[in-house]
Amino acid sequence: MAEREYRTYAEFWPFYLREHSKPTTRAFHYFGTALGLACVVYGLATLNFWWLLGLPFFGYFFAWVSHFGVEKNRPATFTYPVWSLFSDFRMFFLFLAGRLEPELRRAGVVPADVARA
């Protein structure tokens, strides 16, 4: 089946959330993003810039493991690298702020507790 082409970020964002419909997938993303950001902070604090390489390594490693192993889909970053990167951080910070669930609902992602009922 051919993948839809997204022309605007506003169209892409709900697609991105649907590609991260499982809480475990999102948890892998959060973990990788947090580790990557920790590497950036440590690298800047110590002026050891090799640590900056941790951001893409941990971010992509955990994200791709979750897509191939949990969600069973192809990472959106292969087709939309910039929007996917931006969306990963957006999803992460919305989660930390407790504001992700309304975005998931708007995208048609049903929370796991509702899906089981």
Tens digit of each residue's pLDDT (9 = 90 or more) over 10-37: 999 999 999 999 999 999 999 999 999 9
Residue 7 lies in a domain: no
Q: How many H-runs (helices) and E-runs (strands) does the chain carry?
A: 6, 0
Please tell me the predicted confidence (pLDDT) of residue 112: 61
How many structural domains are present in the chain?
1
Closest listed residue to residue 75, CA positions, set 89, 93, 61: 61
Residue 2 lies in a domain: no
Residue 11 lies in a domain: no
What percent of the chain shows pLDDT beyond 90? 83
**What are the tens digits of pLDDT across the range 71-113?**
999 888 889 999 999 999 999 999 999 999 999 999 999 866 4
Range of the domain at 43: 30-110
Q: How confident is the model at residue 47 (pLDDT cuts 50, 70, 90)?
A: very high
